[in-house]
């Protein structure tokens, strides 16, 4: 097994881990590596065929995302919401149509999709990101901390776990983590771990011609939420949303048929003439979901104070959307946590 030394090892190339790497690099501290089990960066930010299958939206009060986009010279744009939206609330009653308040600000999306932020963030230090490196063990030694992957041994001064707490429990820590910390990791819901997202691209936005916003809110049926997912330049047209988790029990073909039939009923038969169809069941992603799928229908609790502390004689830290006390579970929380963690590393290194 190969062996190397680096000051900092960041486990996880999602938004929080990459924020830490970016801050270290910008501060001139370049002796670090980012280890990612997947064959791609981004974590739960993922774009395919122009469809954001993971984190997508942010609001005006999510200042960290806006500031990061500004620093990276990327732009944001408002979620399209013009026209009538559809509410399906009963199988025994017809759908209800409603208009969005045109004066109310809609959520923002990122120009170039959410992966534009990830790719731009990681670009300066992409040679320090190691894909396909599944971390199996983290051991505290006399004066270093060892990180063992499926093909490499890294020795470091500090290790930052930027993977979801439940997923981090798959790592063997030696010595064992405190019991109360393990309990906090076990009970912290992993954002997106139970979600199924779907996206369809089209030649034209046929729903707009019918004065429809593309928004469908389904309290019953195959799709729970759907939105216009066309790009900022308004020359690529798409719909994207969340699928009823009950469809997980059906075959991929049956699930697709049920989704298309549902959308055709409420948006029109034109939905069947799609260019691309993509879906992502995050419960089938071993780097996002554990053995048990747990659906959360109320806002989960994030930002346990135990995640702020350091462990293994100040050599082990945690970061991520679930560890953030501010906007936990959101992109803003992931960035906020990454900035706080990077600040600890930079200040202590400077001293």
* CATH number of the CATH domain containing 40: 3.50.50.60
All residues at 6 or more sequence positions from 56 whose CB lies less than 8 Å from its CB, including other chains: 109, 114, 240
Residue 124, pLDDT > 90, answer yes
Residue 151 shares a structural domain with residue 252: no
Distances (CA, A) of 236 to 2, 51, 210, 239, 264: 46, 10, 18, 10, 20
Kindly state whether residue 54 falls inside one of the protein's structural domains: no
Mean pLDDT of 314-331: 97
| pLDDT tens sequence across 55-111 | 999 999 999 999 999 999 999 999 999 999 999 999 888 999 999 887 777 899 999
Digit-coded pLDDT (tens) for 149-179: 998 999 999 999 999 999 999 999 999 999 9
Same domain as 200, residue 277: yes
Residue 98 lies in a domain: yes
Give the model's pLDDT for residue 350.
Answer: 46
Instruction: Average the pLDDT over 284-294 and give the result.
Output: 82
Whole-number pLDDT of residue 297: 54
Where on the phi/psi map is residue 328: left (φ > 0), alpha (ψ -120 to 50), or beta?
beta
Is the CB of residue 114 less than 8 Å from the CB of residue 284?
no
Classify residue 72: in a domain, yes or no: no
What is the CATH number for 215?
3.90.660.10
- Which of 284, 311, 341 lies at the terminal end of a domain, its last residue? 284
Whether the predicted model's global pTM rises above the 0.75 cut: yes
> Is 119's pLDDT higher than 70?
yes
- The answer to whether residues 138 and 208 belong to one domain is no
- Same domain? 181 vs 125: yes
| Whether residue 123 is found in the same domain as residue 265 | no
Residue 56 lies in a domain: no
Torsion of CA 58, 63, 65, 67, to 10 degrees: 140
**pLDDT over 50 at 142, yes or no:** yes
Taking only the tens place, the pLDDT of each residue in 176-224 is 999 999 999 999 999 999 999 999 999 999 999 999 999 999 999 999 9
* Domain end call among 284, 312, 340: 284
Q: Verify that 279 and 203 share a domain, yes or no.
A: yes
Whether 65 is covered by a domain: the verdict is: no
- Domain check: are 267 and 202 in the same one? yes
Q: What is the pLDDT of residue 293?
A: 63
**Same-domain check for residues 28 and 177:** yes
Q: Are residues 96 and 244 in the same domain?
A: yes
Q: How confident is the model at residue 351 (pLDDT cuts 50, 70, 90)?
A: very low
The answer to whether position 57 is within a domain reads no
Q: Is residue 172 part of a domain?
A: yes
% of the chain at pLDDT higher than 90: 90
Half-sphere exposure in the Cβ direction for 72 (13 Å, CA):
27
Is there a single domain that holds both residue 94 and residue 120? no
186 and 198 inside one domain:
no
* 183 within 8 A of 350, measured Cβ to Cβ: no
Domain of residue 34: give its range: 2-46+116-191+299-350
**Residue 60, domain member (yes or no):** no
* Structure-block tokens of residue 173: 């820590």
Question: Based on the domain organization, do 199 and 278 belong to the same domain?
Answer: yes
**What is the structure's pLDDT at 29?**
94
Q: How far apart are the first and last CA of the chain?
A: 34
* Average pLDDT of the chain to the nearest whole number: 95
Q: How many domains does the chain fold into? A: 2
Q: How confident is the model at residue 28 (pLDDT cuts 50, 70, 90)?
A: very high
């Amino acid at each position: 097994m190969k062996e190397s030394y680096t000051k900092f090892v960041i486990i996880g190339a999602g938004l929080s881990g990459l924020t830490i790497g970016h801050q270290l690099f910008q501060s001139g501290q370049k002796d670090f590596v980012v280890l990612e089990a997947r064959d791609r960066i981004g974590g739960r930010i993922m774009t395919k065929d122009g469809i954001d299958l993971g984190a997508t939206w942010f609001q005006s009060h999510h200042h960290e995302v806006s500031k990061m986009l500004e620093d990276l010279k990327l732009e944001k744009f408002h979620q399209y919401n013009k026209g009538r939206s559809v509410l399906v609330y009963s199988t025994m009653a017809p759908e209800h149509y409603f208009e969005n308040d045109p004066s109310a600000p809609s959520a923002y999306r990122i120009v170039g999709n959410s992966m534009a932020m990830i790719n731009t963030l990681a670009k300066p230090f992409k040679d320090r990101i190691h894909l396909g490196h599944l971390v199996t063990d983290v051991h505290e030694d006399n004066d270093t901390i060892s990180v063992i992957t499926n093909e490499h041994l890294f020795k470091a001064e500090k290790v930052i776990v930027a993977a979801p707490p439940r997923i981090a429990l798959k790592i063997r820590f030696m010595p064992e983590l405190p019991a109360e910390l393990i309990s906090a990791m076990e009970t912290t819901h992993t954002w997106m771990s139970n979600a199924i997202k779907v996206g369809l691209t089209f030649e034209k936005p046929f729903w707009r011609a019918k004065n429809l916003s593309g928004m469908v809110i389904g309290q019953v049926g195959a799709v729970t939420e759907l939105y216009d997912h066309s790009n900022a330049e308004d020359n690529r047209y798409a719909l994207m949303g969340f699928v009823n988790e009950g469809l997980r029990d059906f075959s991929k073909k049956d699930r697709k048929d049920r989704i298309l039939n549902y959308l055709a009923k409420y948006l029109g038969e034109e939905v069947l003439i799609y260019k691309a169809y993509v879906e992502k069941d995050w419960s089938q992603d071993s780097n996002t979901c554990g053995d048990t799928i747990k659906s959360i229908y109320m806002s989960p609790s994030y930002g346990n104070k135990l995640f702020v502390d350091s462990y293994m004689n100040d050599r082990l830290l945690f970061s991520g959307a679930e560890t953030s006390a501010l906007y936990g579970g959101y992109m803003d929380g992931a960035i906020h946590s990454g900035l706080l963690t990077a600040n600890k590393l930079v200040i202590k290194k400077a001293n």
